[in-house]
Amino acid sequence: MAAISKKHNKSPRWLLSSIISIFILFTILTFFLFHARFFSLQTPSPQSSWSLMHELQSYSIFSTTSSTMKSMVHKLRTSVTFLPLKDLRYSNAALVDHTWFMSSLYDTHQEGEVQYQKFPSESSQGRILCIKGNDTHDGSWNYYALAWPEALPYNTTFMKGLTFVSYNHYSYENLWHGLSAMLPFVAWHKMNNCSVLPSRWVLYHWGELRFNMGLWVGTMMEATFDGAQKIERFEGPESGPVCFENAVVMRHNEGGMSRERRMEAYDLMRCKARIYCNMSSLDDRGRGVPVIGMTLFLRTGPRSFKNDTAVAEIFKKECDKVEGCRFKVAHSNNLTFCEQVKLMGMTDMLISPHGAQLTNMFLMERNSSVLEFYPKGWLKLAGVGQYVYRWIASWSGMKHEGSWRDTNGEHCPYPEDDRRCMPLFKNGRIGYDEKHFAEWSRRVLADIRTRKIHQHASTINATTLPPTTTTTHCACN
């Protein structure tokens, strides 16, 4: 009996101890689950920053724990640190390394691929990008921060979908500079099998908000990304930040990309532009005599030819000597986007002065030829920027056939290699050399004709048209 009595005396204490142990274990488990969800490196599903607290509050027994968690979330929300989009400490090296735009963050970069930042990601520890401010005059008054999706700053506007954030050190209006800023987004899009389209664009120039792309650039992006592109203006409440469900940031243009990857991006844009402009085929290439399209692409004002008619006569004369050669004269300032796409699609030999209109060259077929012309003074004084169209020719798979530089022009009172001469030479006009132009075009035409004959022979007996003449599908993987 004594033994039995002793056993019954221990039972209540054992039961109480078990209840307490279970309570403590359950509390720890709940805290661990919240902690794991809150600080997970995986991207959480979009929800309000208080949703997790609401779940915990449904269990009254954990009211103390819920209060603690609510306090933690509050502290995280108020501790989000916003930094200037434009870091003035790097104003003397604005494009170096990780740049003065979002200077505290580094890019993701695999050799040969586009450089980018993705939010949320493993490198951001699951945090998303937030931006505060819409100043159009001083980028140091616009700010950025990273925040946990469950603990966004107060008064936040949450934007769902994919946001493309672009930094351009130059201009979105200019064909070349605008396209250079857009190309990395096209490359990233292709790298991800074109699986997700952007819901919006946020454009920055020196950290200052911009609201427009140039018409040509904007239309190219509309064609590439299957519809009109929304450019964010942040016209909502000015007091609160904007946070993005998903964001991709580019700030190095095509820097770091291999030639192969650049060519793939240009191929995608060319293909998309042809679909957009309803080009089911280029012309009658592949049937009969191979066609060679020669286009004199003129500009007006600075860096135009002094005598367009004389230049046109020289090249037309050489074209007329070659069977199947078709000569056209076009002006870059009076063609619509689709007219330019169709013109370049029919061009195998592009003849044009140095200028933004040459950006159209990637719309030609690969291995097409480009002839470029400069006014006096550019070789010594214009710097590396004068070679951008030689670069784009290489990056897009074209053949830059050389340049002609006029030795006649404005007289400079200083030595011609003096920097003070460049304002006189920059917008100079271009003359012509009949003998040189004729021999130059004759050589290039011969090379093009040989290549076209080989292409024609390889496709003449094919059961389908060559891949370059159909544009119903664009490869994205």
As beta bridge partners, residue 132 has 143
CA quadruple 405, 410, 411, 415: dihedral sign: negative
pLDDT attached to residue 181:
96
Give start and end residues of each alpha helix (H) in 301-351: 308-320, 337-345
As beta bridge partners, residue 329 has 296
- For the record, the structure tokens of 87 come out as 């870091």
In tens, the pLDDT along 302-336 reads 999 999 999 999 999 999 999 999 999 999 889 99
CA distance 117 to 140: 20
| Residue count (the chain) | 477
Map residue 149 onto helix, strand or coil: helix
The label of the residue with tokens 């030595």 reads: 415
Residue 237: band (very low, low, confident or very high) from pLDDT cuts 50, 70, 90: low
Map residue 314 onto helix, strand or coil: helix
pLDDT attached to residue 285:
52
CATH entry, 280-469, from 3.20.20.70, 3.40.50.720, 3.40.50.150, 3.40.50.360 = 3.40.50.360
pLDDT attached to residue 60:
47
The label of the residue with tokens 């005396």 reads: 9
CA distance 345 to 477: 24
CA distance 246 to 251: 17
> Using an 8 Å Cβ cutoff, are 410 and 425 in contact?
yes
pLDDT attached to residue 63:
56
CA distance 438 to 258: 36
pLDDT attached to residue 52:
41
pLDDT attached to residue 430:
97
pLDDT attached to residue 287:
59
Mean pLDDT of 449-465: 73
- Domain-wise residue ranges, the chain: 83-257, 280-469
CA distance 358 to 254: 18
pLDDT attached to residue 4:
37
Q: Is beta strand 128-132 parallel, antiparallel or unpaired with respect to 143-147?
A: antiparallel
Mean pLDDT of 174-195: 95
- Give the torsion through C-alpha atoms of 340, 343, 345, 346, to 10 deg: -170
The label of the residue with tokens 């269990």 reads: 59
Provide CB contacts within 8 A for 404, sequence distance 6+: 371, 372, 373, 374, 433, 436, 437, 440
Angle at 263 between CA 105 and CA 399, to 5 degrees: 130
% the chain with pLDDT above 70: 81
pLDDT attached to residue 119:
98
Residue 89 has pLDDT above 80, yes or no: yes
Mean pLDDT of 399-414: 94
> Using an 8 Å Cβ cutoff, are 29 and 21 in contact?
no
pLDDT attached to residue 456:
75
C-alpha radius of gyration, the chain, whole number: 31
Long-range contacts of 448-451 (CB under 8 A, 24+ apart): 448/292, 448/348, 448/349, 448/369, 449/290, 449/292, 449/322, 449/324, 451/367
pLDDT attached to residue 221:
98
pLDDT attached to residue 467:
45
Cis peptide before 375 (omega within 30 of 0): no
Residue 391 has pLDDT above 50, yes or no: yes
Provide CB contacts within 8 A for 237, sequence distance 6+: 155, 157
Provide CB contacts within 8 A for 20, sequence distance 6+: none
The label of the residue with tokens 């925040």 reads: 147
CA distance 474 to 120: 29
% the chain with pLDDT above 90: 69
As beta bridge partners, residue 129 has 146
Mean pLDDT of the chain, nearest integer: 85
250 vs 467, higher pLDDT:
250
DSSP 468: G
> Using an 8 Å Cβ cutoff, are 398 and 267 in contact?
no
Residue 22 has pLDDT above 60, yes or no: no
Half-sphere exposure (Cβ direction) of 44: Cα atoms closer than 13 Å? 22
DSSP 470: -
Map residue 347 onto helix, strand or coil: coil
Residue 16 has pLDDT above 50, yes or no: no
171 vs 10, higher pLDDT:
171
Map residue 34 onto helix, strand or coil: helix
In tens, the pLDDT along 135-151 reads 999 999 999 999 999 99
In tens, the pLDDT along 461-477 reads 554 444 444 456 898 86
Provide CB contacts within 8 A for 90, sequence distance 6+: 96, 99, 100, 103
